[in-house]
Amino acid sequence: MTRVIHTGDTHIGYQQYHLPERRQDFLDAFQRVVDDAVDDGVDAVVHAGDLFHDRRPQLGDLLGTLSVLRTLDDADIPFLAVVGNHETTRDGQWLDLFESMELATRLNDEPTVVGDTAFYGLDFVPRAKRDDLDYEFASHDAAHAALVSHGLFEPLVPDYGNVEWDAREVLESATVDFDALLLGDEHNPERVEIDGTWTTYCGSTERASAGERDDRGYNLVEFADGEARLSRRGIPAREFVFVSVELGGGEGIERVREQVGQYDLESAVVVVEIEGDGEAVTPARVEEFIDDRGALVGRVADRREHATETEDVDISFADPDEAVRDRLRGMGLSEAARDIDETVRASKTANANVADTVEDRVRDLVDDPAAFEPAEDDDPDDPGEAVAETPTSEATAEPDWGEGADDERDDAEPASTPADASPPEEMAEATDGDGDGQPSLGDFS
């Protein structure tokens, strides 16, 4: 029997809402997972990508990560991992550095056997290069096998327009029969059984956006008797308080304050959504109220539509990004043009790094001539003169929360740092960190 922790999307280094406290939260969450691994004596920690939030983490993030990995090493628990889209670089990967220090194993098409289970890895692969994959893996003599990968796979996540990786196709094409497909990239936990193979996302260890409302945690995977068994374990995380306020006629900011004031806001991230027919509410005044009650940060969104009509265009500001997407769909742009537009506009990339981002995407797309062919209008009955008034899916209906927005829906490699960044040759010693809290074990729900 082999028992492992399946985790991923730790996004160490993410300074959400520009707050150093949130940056520390992401590292602390990784420490908690490792502390659980040591306390439980699991056989390995399997990380499904996006250990770091971007390709050039700061020194403090690297030292903190090294300290956590040394905790595992001291307990003789191997750390097996693949590279995610957020942390990938053109040259050497940070995971390679940790492997050279004997603190990690980068999984690939050769088996890494732990107990009676062979683990394989498939790093994040850009869409334009996936057709070249042959899914050939070296054979093994272990009783079980698992594939670890990073990306948005159908049928576990909805089609947001960039989900072109089919888990069923991977499993059917692979030269090895897998008992489990352990995935990262989707931040909410998901699982489905495909022809006897459990295919699962572990979810992120901290909330990277206001849309991630499930409890944070990881998967426990047990390989025994010719099958994989999954369970779910939560970990303590910073409290997120979600408040939805429905305003009736004549109601306004006092009603919002009344509803928000019913919660314990101390040190929490507070997310308020306002709907209904009441008076206009200034978000800044509500956020000031939230701050006075000891919250770490407050974010307020008025979800009510305030449409502006012009002679030619009917625009809704409920979701500006979706309005732009709808307008572009009527312009007959090629897949490559849409991809680059999404990279520049929707990925919230810093201006100084836009050129690097576009260069990366063009490099990925240039080998796919079909991507540059003009597209037919998605809606031939719509001349493209009007923009949709409402979002087309629950995913796109999420408001833009600024830096906390969920960028996991975009396969583009983020370029929050120079694209040619590569790990340093040497790394200073790190001090040990410690986690807190002991979560409870329960069935995967």
pLDDT beyond 80 at 282: yes
- Residue of 240 and 382 predicted with greater confidence: 240
Does 193 lie in the same domain as 332? no
Domain for residue 416, yes or no? no
Residue 284 has pLDDT above 90, yes or no: yes
User: Mean pLDDT across the stretch 351-357?
Assistant: 50
Same domain, 144 and 32: yes
How is residue 349 written in tokens?
A: 């990339």
Partners of residue 271 on adjacent β-strands = 242, 299
Q: What is the pLDDT of residue 360?
A: 60
Whether residues 279 and 322 fall in one domain: no
For residues 262 and 345, membership in a common domain is answered with: no
Tokens linked to 264: 């314990």
Domain count, the chain: 3
**216 and 250 together in one domain:** no
- Residue 323: pLDDT over 50: yes
Task: Using CB atoms within 10 Å of the CB of residue 411, give its burial: 0 to 12 exposed, 13 to 18 middle, 19+ buried.
Answer: buried
Residue 183 reports pLDDT greater than 90: yes
Tell me which of 369 and 181 has the higher pLDDT.
181
DSSP 298: E
Quick check: 260 and 283 in contact, CB under 8 A? no
Q: What per-residue confidence (pLDDT) applies to 338?
A: 66
Q: 67 or 412, which is more confident? A: 67
pLDDT-derived band at 412, boundaries 50, 70, 90 = very low
User: What is the layout of strands, in order, in the sheet containing 297-302?
Assistant: 240-247, 269-276, 297-302
Question: What is the distance between the alpha carbons of residues 104 and 86, in angstroms, rounded to a whole number?
Answer: 18
- Tell me the range of 83-87, 115-119, 397-401 where mean pLDDT is highest: 115-119
pLDDT of residue 342: 61
pLDDT at 44 over 60: yes
Residue 120 shares a structural domain with residue 168: yes
Domain co-membership, 204 together with 134: yes
pLDDT at residue number 321: 54
The Cβ of residue 43 has, within 10 Å, a number of other Cβ atoms equal to 21
State mean pLDDT over 227-256: 94
332-333-337 Cα angle (round to 5) = 175
CA 398, CA 211: separation in Å to the nearest integer? 7
pLDDT band at 131 (very low <50, low <70, confident <90, very high): confident
Distance (Å) of CA 399 to CA 85, 282, 316: 24, 16, 13
Residue 308, domain member (yes or no): no
Q: What confidence tens digit (pLDDT) does each residue in 115-129 have?
A: 999 999 999 998 888
Residue 414 lies in a domain: no
Whether 144 is catalytic = no
Q: Report whether pLDDT(389) > 50.
A: no
Radius of gyration of the chain (CA): 23
Predicted pLDDT at 90: 79
pLDDT of 367: 56
417 inside domain: no
CA angle (13, 15, 16) in 5-degree steps: 130
Query: Of 405 and 193, which is predicted with more confidence?
Result: 193
The pLDDT tens digits of the residues spanning 261-270 come to 999 999 999 9
Q: What mean pLDDT is predicted for residues 129-152? A: 94
Report, as an integer, the average pLDDT of 326-336: 63
Q: Is residue 41 part of a domain?
A: yes
Identify whether residues 365 and 219 lie together within a single domain. no
Residue 96 counted as domain residue: yes
Half-sphere exposure of residue 275: CA atoms within 13 angstroms, side-chain side? 6
> Which residue range is the domain that position 361 belongs to?
316-404
Cα separation, 27 vs 51, whole angstroms: 10
Flag whether pLDDT at 407 surpasses 80: no
Q: Give me the catalytic one of 86, 144, 150, 187.
A: 86
pLDDT, position 303: 84
- Please determine, for residue 214, whether its predicted confidence score (pLDDT) is greater than 70: yes
pLDDT band at 163 (very low <50, low <70, confident <90, very high): low
In this structure, are residues 45 and 77 in contact, taking their beta carbons and an 8 Å threshold? yes
Q: Is residue 71 located within the same domain as residue 204?
A: yes
Tell me whether residue 151 is in a domain.
yes
For residue 400, the tally of other CB atoms under 10 A from its CB is 13
pLDDT at 330: 58
pLDDT-wise least confident of 65-74, 108-117, 197-206, 414-423: 414-423
Looking at the structure, do residues 217 and 168 belong to the same domain, yes or no? yes
Question: What CATH number corresponds to the domain at position 123?
Answer: 3.60.21.10
Average pLDDT (248-253) is: 92
pTM for the whole structure: 0.71
CA distance 92 to 97: 8
Residue type, 410: D
> Is residue 147, in this structure, part of any structural domain at all?
yes
Give yes or no: residues 285 and 173 share one domain.
Answer: no
Give the pLDDT confidence score for residue 384 in this predicted structure.
Answer: 40
Nearest Cα to Cα of residue 321 among 353, 345, 350, 299: 345
Distance CA 247, CA 439 (A): 37
**Rounded Cα distance, 234 and 344, in Å:** 35
Clarify whether residues 181 and 32 are in a common domain: yes
Query: What is the pLDDT, as a whole number, of residue 291?
Result: 96
Q: What confidence category does residue 409 fall into, taking pLDDT thresholds of 50, 70 and 90?
A: very low
Summary mean pLDDT of the chain:
79
CA distances from 36 to 149, 201, 233, 438 (A): 23, 19, 10, 7
Do the beta carbons of residue 416 and residue 350 sit within 8 Å? yes
- For residues 128 and 351, the model is more confident at 128
Q: Is the pLDDT of residue 161 over 70?
A: no
Q: Which residue did the predictor score with more confidence, 286 or 416?
A: 286
pLDDT interval class at 380 (50, 70, 90): very low
Cβ neighbors of 58 (< 8 A, separation 6 or more) are 13
pLDDT at 326: 61
For residue range 13-39, what is the model confidence (pLDDT) as tens digits? Answer: 999 999 999 999 999 999 999 999 999
